[in-house]
């Protein structure tokens, strides 16, 4: 509802209330607010105004909710709208590269409309037979994380025994499928029986288990990998990493992608001595270090997706007002597949 005189429109927004520390985010850390926004680019300003369609819920965003400036990405500003990856439609443009109606993906605000001045980070999406929301998942940052992490960090070989944690999530589901395409034997862990079922019966994992039903992860991994693990793609850290360390094969590789259990795990990792006896390489990575591979990734995944070699499970929450709950749910495993918020379908 644009106001004719002021050109101001209602703008639903998600605000970070305060910095949080040493715990997982809760729904109440975020506030749903309605303010006003102009749908016209301010005079003299560059950039584009976009209508946000889909927002990506990503675990790394928790890191931006802390009062800490030393990380690879600055913190959010308490009292302000939070940002993340999204898919948006251009509604006004002062940038010759973007015209009204273009679909774009890149960093945007968690709100209905955003003025984006850094347009160099935006990528245009060609409308086609792939749903636009996939560009924040399978074809976006999480998919690329799986691709870069698996091929560039894990040094995979055909026949390798691969273990993936948080395996049904945005990153994990693709890691497992890439490993299968590569000729590996793949086991995934996840936190519900529904997810385990998806892993085995839809995503093509050789085996999967519900780690919440396993009292001793060390013996669980021994059961699934009697000969040991060549590659552990770690999305969770904590006790699962400790158990994996005990079950690695000689010259195994551990890709440290994420540590979503990190905040709630205070014991510390006990089994690093295994790095020596098994000569393990353990490597942390950020997908952003591999951007040069992005075009190759996109071509590879689109082609495999179209051929049916890769499938994608998305978990869509409707309505921006439900975004705080959707985001907090990442840290208790409420999401089944890639968590996306749909603000509006067009």
Per CB under 6 A, residues contacting ligand NAP are: 58-60, 142, 145, 166, 169-172, 190-192, 195, 235-236, 257-261, 264, 276, 285-287, 330-331, 333, 335, 338-339
**218 Cβ neighbours under 8 A, 6+ residues apart:** 243, 246, 247
- Is residue 164 part of the contact set for a second copy (CB under 8 A)? no
- Is residue 275 part of the contact set for a second copy (CB under 8 A)? yes
- List 34, 100, 272, 291, residue binding a second copy (CB under 8 A): 272
- Is residue 86 part of the contact set for a second copy (CB under 8 A)? no
- Distance CA(167)–CA(231), nearest Å, equals 14
Handedness of CA 94, 56, 60, 168 (dihedral sign): negative
**Closest distance between ligand NAP and the C-beta of residue 23, in Å?**
12
Would you list the DSSP string of 133-199? Answer: GGGGTTTSHHHHHHHHIIIIIS---TT-EEEESSTTSHHHHHHHHHHHHTT-EEEEEESSHHHHHHH
**Closest distance between ligand NAP and the C-beta of residue 235, in Å?**
4
Among a second copy, ligand NAP, none, residue 274 binds (CB under 5-8 Å by kind): a second copy
* Residue 14 β-bridge partners: 32
Nearer to ligand NAP, 272 or 286 (CB): 286
CB neighbour burial string for 3-28, b if at least 16 within 10 angstroms, e if fewer: eeeeebbebbbbbbeeebeeebbeee
| 346 within 8 A of 339, measured Cβ to Cβ | no
- List 59, 258, 324, 337, residue binding a second copy (CB under 8 A): 258
- Distance CA(19)–CA(224), nearest Å, equals 41
Among a second copy, ligand NAP, none, residue 281 binds (CB under 5-8 Å by kind): a second copy
**17 Cβ neighbours under 8 A, 6+ residues apart:** 28, 29, 30, 31, 78, 79
In terms of Cα–Cα distance, which of 337, 330, 308, 293 is closest to 148? 293
Among a second copy, ligand NAP, none, residue 107 binds (CB under 5-8 Å by kind): none
Handedness of CA 164, 168, 172, 176 (dihedral sign): positive
Nearer to a second copy, 36 or 279 (CB): 279
In terms of Cα–Cα distance, which of 181, 148, 143 is closest to 162? 181
- Is residue 273 part of the contact set for a second copy (CB under 8 A)? yes
Nearer to a second copy, 231 or 323 (CB): 231
Among ligand NAP, a second copy, none, residue 268 binds (CB under 5-8 Å by kind): a second copy
**Closest distance between a second copy and the C-beta of residue 287, in Å?**
11
- Is residue 72 part of the contact set for a second copy (CB under 8 A)? yes
End-to-end CA distance of the chain: 16
- List 5, 267, 308, 332, residue binding a second copy (CB under 8 A): 267
Instruction: Calculate the alpha carbon distances from 197 to 167, 201, 232, 282, 345 in Å.
Output: 12, 6, 21, 29, 29
Nearer to a second copy, 234 or 315 (CB): 234
- Is residue 289 part of the contact set for a second copy (CB under 8 A)? yes
- Is residue 285 part of the contact set for a second copy (CB under 8 A)? yes
Among ligand NAP, a second copy, none, residue 71 binds (CB under 5-8 Å by kind): a second copy
**Closest distance between ligand NAP and the C-beta of residue 340, in Å?**
10
In terms of Cα–Cα distance, which of 197, 43, 41, 35 is closest to 112? 35
- List 281, 291, 303, 319, residue binding a second copy (CB under 8 A): 281
**Closest distance between a second copy and the C-beta of residue 180, in Å?**
25
**Closest distance between a second copy and the C-beta of residue 154, in Å?**
13
**Closest distance between a second copy and the C-beta of residue 284, in Å?**
3
Q: Which helix (H) or strand (E) covers residue 341, if one does?
A: strand 338-342
**The two three-digit tokens of residue 300, written as one number:** 């590879």
Binding residues for a second copy, per CB under 8 A? 71-72, 237, 241, 256-259, 262, 267-270, 272-286, 289
């Amino acid at each position: 509802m644009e106001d004719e005189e002021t050109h101001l429109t209602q703008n639903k927004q998600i605000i970070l209330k305060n910095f949080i520390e040493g715990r997982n985010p809760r729904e109440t850390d975020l506030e749903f607010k309605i303010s006003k926004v102009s749908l016209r680019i301010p005079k003299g300003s560059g950039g584009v105004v976009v209508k946000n369609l889909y927002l990506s819920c990503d675990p790394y965003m928790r890191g931006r909710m802390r009062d800490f400036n030393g990380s690879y990405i600055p913190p959010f500003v308490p009292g302000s709208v939070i940002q993340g990856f999204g898919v948006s439609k251009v509604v006004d443009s002062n940038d010759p590269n973007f015209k009204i109606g273009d679909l774009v993906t890149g960093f945007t605000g968690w709100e209905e409309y955003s003025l984006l001045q850094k347009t160099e980070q935006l990528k245009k999406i060609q409308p086609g037979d792939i749903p636009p929301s996939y560009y924040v998942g399978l074809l976006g940052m999480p998919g690329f994380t799986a691709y870069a992490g698996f091929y560039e960090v894990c040094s995979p070989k055909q026949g390798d025994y691969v273990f993936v944690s948080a395996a049904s999530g945005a990153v994990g589901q693709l890691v497992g499928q890439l490993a299968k395409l590569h000729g590996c034997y793949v086991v995934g862990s996840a936190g519900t029986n529904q997810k385990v079922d998806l892993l085995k019966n839809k995503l093509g994992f050789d085996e999967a288990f519900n780690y919440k039903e396993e009292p001793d992860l060390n013996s669980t991994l021994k059961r699934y990998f009697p000969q040991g693990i060549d590659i552990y793609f770690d999305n969770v850290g904590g006790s699962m990493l400790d158990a994996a360390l005990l079950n690695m094969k000689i010259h195994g590789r551990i890709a440290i992608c994420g540590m979503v259990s990190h905040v709630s795990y205070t014991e510390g990792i006990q089994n690093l001595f295994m790095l020596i006896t098994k000569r393990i390489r353990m490597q942390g990575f950020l997908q952003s270090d591999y951007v040069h591979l992005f075009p190759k990734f996109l071509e590879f995944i689109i082609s495999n997706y179209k051929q049916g070699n890769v499938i994608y499970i998305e978990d869509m929450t409707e309505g921006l007002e439900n975004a705080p709950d959707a985001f907090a749910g990442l840290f208790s495993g409420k999401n089944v597949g890639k968590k996306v918020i749909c603000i509006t379908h067009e």
